[in-house]
Chain A
Amino acid sequence: MATKSLLARNNDLANTARQMEILSSGIFADGELPTFANKLKETHQFPLQPKKLEILQINLGYMCNQVCAHCHVDAGPDRKEIMTLETMQQCLEVIKNTGAHTLDLTGGAPEMNPNFKEFVEAAAKAGIKDFIVRSNLTIIRANKKYYELPKFFKKHNIHVVSSMPHWTRGKTDKQRGDGVFDKSIKALQMLNEVGYGREGSDLKLDLVYNPSGAFLPGDQMALENDFKKALKTDFNIDFHNLFAITNLPISRFLDYLIASENYEDYMFSLVDAYNPTAVANVMCTNTISVSWDGYLYDCDFNQMLNLKVASKVQHIGDYNEALLQDRNIIINQHCYGCTAGAGSSCQGVVA
């Protein structure tokens, strides 16, 4: 398994323009499959526009202690893009005035930003009550300085959302790296110890499942039951909900699809599973994504494809919510990932 990002490996796909070219050519150019825009037009859902803003998702940096095979961020230890204090300050100004009720912190490993704790504390002071931290779990065990994270999360009543592709070691380590499963289990137990994930507990602990191959996630509820049964029996671990997330065909997952000759089949399954009901609730309609350097995007995926919002306001420093809400959402063929089957978002299924 690779231990470097596509960027560090000088892989062709580290270039976002190249990814866009792939997503717009071949089966989509020759009409074998409809473009996402044309599919939306069939059900009169084009152009896609935002509804009420609910979630501000801030990417604190692309640095991560893991190099997962499917990562849409192309994150890893070699990525140096980290949000500065100055950009954090600009985010805080926005947090004071936004209509969004939830602050969703992601990365890379957001905890690796040297000012992560200070930022959370300042955002709490600025009035944010609903925090999400997307934790990869192993970071909690990566270094002594992170051992106290569960207590810190608890102090600020942070909703922890953690990736866990399977309840078995083999499948987890194949996707996320050797040793990840054991460390994740230990981290989950630490979170349980401080009260996270227990039945009836206000300390929310949710897991994210995404497939470890060129297939779509199965039924979210059935997977949640399987995860709960296995993690409880094997490790006495409790968690609240499981979010089943579809892998979008970008970055490292796109690289895998092409290398394994699964790209076309995967795109066919996404298009076959297109669900217009899911379109109504895709996350770009209630979320704004902010990158480590303060630019604004319709979602974290568009951020990774360098598709900034179609608005006069493109940077957190010029933030104007009313102006921003009056925009068309930028779409492309990767968007089929969020509308397949029961739909997919950072909060799990949407339909």
Chain B
Amino acid sequence: MAKPYYDASDLRKFGKITEWSEELGNKFFDYYGKVFEEGALTAREKSLIALAVAHTEQCPYCIDAYTKDGLERGITKEQMMEAIHVGAAIKSGATLVHGVQML
């Protein structure tokens, strides 16, 4: 039987990380919740940033979570794709700009 490192249903257990270190776990989730609240940036803008970073980090859990979050907020496919292109542009730009060391 296959034992994949990533299982989509594991995402639901994320909250349980507090079980092995309650204080740090709770501090993290408090911080996390606060970060995504409406602020100088809208919750919608933050969701798109999170989606782009989820892709550059290549975290399947985060991609799952922020695809759903974007859809729930009525963000369109076009907007979501543009966001990940921003992430991709920085990634590729970061690679290419190192070309200056080669030159």
Q: Which residues of A contact B (CB under 8 A)?
A: 166-168, 170-171, 209, 211, 213, 215-219, 222-223, 226-227, 265, 268, 272
Contacts and interface: CB of A to CB of B under 8 A. Distances in A.
Nearest first, the 8 A-B pairs at minimum CB distance are A218-B72, A218-B73, A215-B71, A215-B68, A215-B72, A226-B74, A223-B74, A168-B76
Interface of B: 8-9, 12, 43-44, 68, 71-74, 76-77
Contacts of B73: 218-219, 222-223
Nearest to A209: B74
Contact of B8 (A167, A217, A265): A265
A270 to B, nearest CB: 13
B68 A218 contact: no
Given A170-B76, A170-B77, A217-B72, 20 more contacts: A166-B76, A167-B74, A171-B76, A211-B72, A215-B68, A215-B72, A216-B72, A218-B73, A218-B74, A219-B73, A222-B43, A222-B44, A222-B73, A223-B73, A223-B74, A226-B74, A227-B74, A265-B8, A265-B9, A268-B12
A162 to B, nearest CB: 17
A206 to B, nearest CB: 17
Most B-side CB within 10 Å, residue of A209, A211, A218: A218
B71 A211 contact: yes
5 contacts: A170-B77, A211-B72, A216-B72, A222-B73, A227-B74
Contacts of A211: 71-72
Contacts of B72: 211, 215-218
Contacts of A226: 74
Given A215-B68, A272-B12, A166 B74 contact: yes
Contacts of B43: 222
Contacts of A167: 74
Prevailing SS type, chain B contact patch:
helix
Contacts of A219: 73
Contacts of A213: 71
Most A-side CB within 10 Å, residue of B8, B9, B74: B74
A203 B68 CA distance: 35
A170 B9 CA distance: 30
Contacts of B9: 265
A223 B12 CA distance: 26
Nearest to B44: A222
A218 B72 CA distance: 5
Nearest to A268: B12
Contacts of B74: 166-167, 209, 218, 223, 226-227
Nearest to A227: B74
A265 to B, nearest CB: 7
A322 B7 CA distance: 53
B93 to A, nearest CB: 30
Nearest to B77: A170
B103 to A, nearest CB: 44
A171 B76 CA distance: 8
A97 B68 CA distance: 47
A226 B73 CA distance: 9
Contacts of A227: 74
Nearest to A213: B71
A351 B74 CA distance: 21
Contacts of B76: 166, 168, 170-171
Most B-side CB within 10 Å, residue of A217, A222, A223: A222
A247 to B, nearest CB: 12
Contacts of A265: 8-9
Nearest to A216: B72
Contacts of A168: 76
Nearest to A168: B76
B9 to A, nearest CB: 8
Nearest to A230: B74
B42 to A, nearest CB: 9
A209 B76 CA distance: 15
A330 B68 CA distance: 31
A318 B47 CA distance: 53
B69 to A, nearest CB: 8
Nearest to B71: A215
